[in-house]
């Protein structure tokens, strides 16, 4: 039974029918990316994923990474795979070709990432973090720093990481203790220790570039005094040649539940007093700069979780079609009735329908965030660009927090469809559950994503980005109301949207009142309800497109479009009523969780 990754028909539907990404070829920046080119690119990404990346998924999980004589050993098969990946120029798909990118629309890159991460996202963390680190150099680096580092990173000659977390400063980055002292030559001596560093040390490349958050001596306390530095594993000379090792030492590799193919490292900087770094951007502006990478990383994490769910669904669907077990429910009393594939059993169909519905909506959302990024780049209207940037910022906590929550649930369902076999390592489902779980934790736990949505995004720019999002949803509802068969669904989504607007105002007011703690105790349910409404929007949008297409569709596409209507019907009638209940509960703003004393929790 072959493992699955992503449904190509659904990928094409979102790219070409829902978002019409070929429209970007009318603009000079993306003029090479017409429909034919886009399809060729996605096909190449799919082929690479199936033929080269997917076979390493289980191997990477079984071999894992370990520290040996100060060096981190990664799965042996990754070296060849990494070289092939970089030769194909896949690392910086959306970046400027002068720095080693392909200059493609971000939406198309999302489709490629759909396949890559579905095939083996533990491996994809090496190039993924490298791209994010490179974006920091591109955005904040001097011309000299770009010349030294950017192309080497975007082509994958060197990899990159992100050094934020410390033992005493996890989510509270402002409590970090890593220090920086300016030297006479303009470099900085860096001293400190970082933990939970993905891809922090390995031998895939000759150099690793670490963006490091540290506090310059005398800087203000908290996040206001944090600066960002480029700290290479091997020092880079002004002419681009490599110098001496830079006193960055891996002191341990974590034993983890999942993503075994990627090392999660502890790094000591300046243990011998010989670690040097280059200031990246301005002094004391490091957190502001690092958020650029963190926001990109959060979208990547949403994609990672989603891809686990997508693969789990397709595996479960294939298994359910082949696994013969039990009689059809309508023939239970017939002793001669044959056993049937489990896809005929209602509860299995419920699980598959739940998975299909969420995965369709999540794919549309993630691609849509990439679409918003592309829209920013094809407009000369600053107000339009600001609108799409606002949509990206509002949707980021949902694309990371909500999506990974649902993705993990879908992976659990995918295991359940297999029954006992799903729990056994011979089959892929249990690894997908293990690998998916971290996506709810790293790059800001999902609780932090919820706090970000409530505390920052809801009132950002006096609420304009949220209202812009509501406007986009209303526009889809208006289109759907013109279709008689979609009117009930449109009305249900509109009811949920209106209720969400009411709850958003309630939460915003409560967060500004003496009940602020109670408000933030409900931030997570608020993100959950917001995500449900966004999912309903994406499914309604799909329904509108399907209605337009099914009238002239070829017979082979009829079932696909019919599936869009059924998943919309399923979500609106089975899930959205629960969302309304969630919002009523939020409106109650129960204070028990913040009023209960520490001792009353018990456990002593």
213 forms bridges with which residues in the sheet? 228
Q: Which residue has the tokens 């020092």?
A: 235
Write out 440-492 in H/E/C secondary structure: HCCCCCHHHHHHHHHHHHCCHHHHHHHHHHHHHHHHHHHHHHCCHHHHHHHHH
Cβ count near 600 (within 10 Å):
7
* Neighbouring residues of 379: CB distance < 8 A, sequence distance ≥ 6: 385, 388
The residues annotated as belonging to the active site are: 443
Q: What residues have CB less than 8 Å from 279, skipping those under 6 apart?
A: 188, 227, 228, 229
Cα separation, 582 vs 526, in Å, equals 8
Q: Is the dihedral of CA 75, 79, 82, 88 positive or negative?
A: negative
Residues 6+ apart with CB under 8 A from 583: 496, 499, 500, 502, 503, 529
Tokens for 196, please give them: 């939970």
Instruction: Report whether 540 contacts 477 (CB < 8 A).
Output: yes
Per DSSP, 371 falls in state H
R_g of the chain, CA atoms, integer Å: 25
């Amino acid at each position: 039974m072959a493992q699955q990754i992503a449904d190509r028909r659904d990928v094409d539907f979102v790219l070409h029918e829902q978002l019409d990404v070929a429209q970007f070829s009318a603009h000079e920046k993306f003029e090479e990316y017409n429909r034919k080119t886009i399809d060729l690119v996605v096909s190449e990404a799919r082929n690479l994923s199936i033929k080269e990346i997917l076979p390493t998924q289980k191997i990477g999980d079984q071999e894992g990474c370990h520290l040996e004589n100060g060096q981190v050993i990664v799965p042996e098969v990754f070296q060849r795979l990494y070289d092939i990946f970089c030769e194909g120029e896949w690392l910086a798909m959306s970046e400027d070709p002068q720095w080693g990118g392909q200059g493609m629309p971000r939406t198309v890159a999302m489709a490629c990432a759909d396949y890559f991460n579905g095939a083996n996202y533990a491996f994809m963390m090496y190039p993924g973090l490298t791209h994010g680190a490179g974006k920091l150099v591109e955005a904040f680096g001097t011309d000299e720093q770009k010349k030294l580092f950017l192309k080497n990173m975007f082509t994958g000659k060197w990899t990159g990481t992100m050094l934020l977390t410390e033992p005493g400063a996890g989510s509270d980055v402002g409590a970090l203790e890593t220090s920086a002292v300016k030297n006479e030559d303009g470099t900085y001596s860096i001293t400190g220790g970082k933990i939970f560093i993905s891809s922090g040390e390995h031998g895939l490349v000759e150099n690793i570039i670490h963006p490091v958050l540290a506090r310059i001596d005398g800087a203000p306390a908290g996040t206001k005094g944090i600066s960002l530095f480029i700290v290479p594993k091997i020092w880079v000379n002004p002419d681009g040649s490599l110098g001496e090792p830079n006193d960055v030492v891996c002191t341990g590799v974590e034993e983890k539940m999942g993503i075994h193919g990627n090392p999660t490292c502890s790094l000591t900087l300046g243990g011998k007093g010989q670690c040097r770094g280059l200031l990246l951007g301005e002094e004391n502006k490091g957190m502001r700069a690092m958020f650029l990478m963190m926001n990109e990383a959060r979208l990547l994490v949403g994609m990672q979780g989603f891809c686990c769910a997508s693969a789990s669904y397709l595996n479960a669907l294939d298994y359910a079609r082949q696994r013969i077990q039990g009689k059809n429910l309508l023939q239970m009393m017939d002793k001669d009735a044959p056993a049937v594939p489990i896809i005929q059993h209602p509860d299995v169909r419920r699980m598959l329908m739940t998975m299909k519905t969420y995965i369709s909506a999540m794919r549309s959302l993630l691609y849509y965030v990439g679409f918003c990024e592309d829209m920013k780049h094809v407009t000369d209207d600053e107000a339009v660009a600001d609108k799409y940037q606002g949509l990206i910022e509002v949707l980021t906590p949902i694309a990371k927090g909500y999506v990974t929550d649902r993705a993990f649930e879908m992976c659990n369902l995918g295991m359940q469809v297999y029954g006992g076999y799903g729990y056994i390592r011979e089959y892929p489902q249990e690894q997908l559950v293990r690998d998916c779980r971290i996506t709810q934790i790293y790059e800001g736990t999902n609780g932090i994503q919820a706090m970000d949505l409530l505390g920052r995004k809801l009132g950002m720019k006096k609420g304009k980005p949220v209202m812009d999002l509501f406007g986009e949803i209303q526009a889809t509802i208006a289109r759907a109301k013109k279709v008689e068969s979609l009117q009930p669904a449109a009305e249900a989504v509109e009811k949920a949207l209106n209720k969400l607007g009411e709850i958003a105002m309630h939460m915003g007011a409560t967060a500004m009142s003496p009940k602020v703690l109670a408000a933030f105790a409900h931030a997570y349910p608020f993100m959950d309800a917001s995500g449900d409404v966004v999912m309903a929007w994406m499914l309604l949008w799909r329904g509108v497109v399907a209605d337009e297409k099914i009238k002239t569709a070829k017979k082979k596409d009829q079932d696909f479009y019919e599936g869009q209507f059924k998943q919309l019907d399923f979500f609106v009638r089975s899930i959205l009523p629960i969302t309304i209940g969630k919002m009523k509960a939020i409106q109650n703003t129960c204070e028990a969780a913040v009023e209960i004393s520490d001792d009353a929790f018990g456990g002593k």
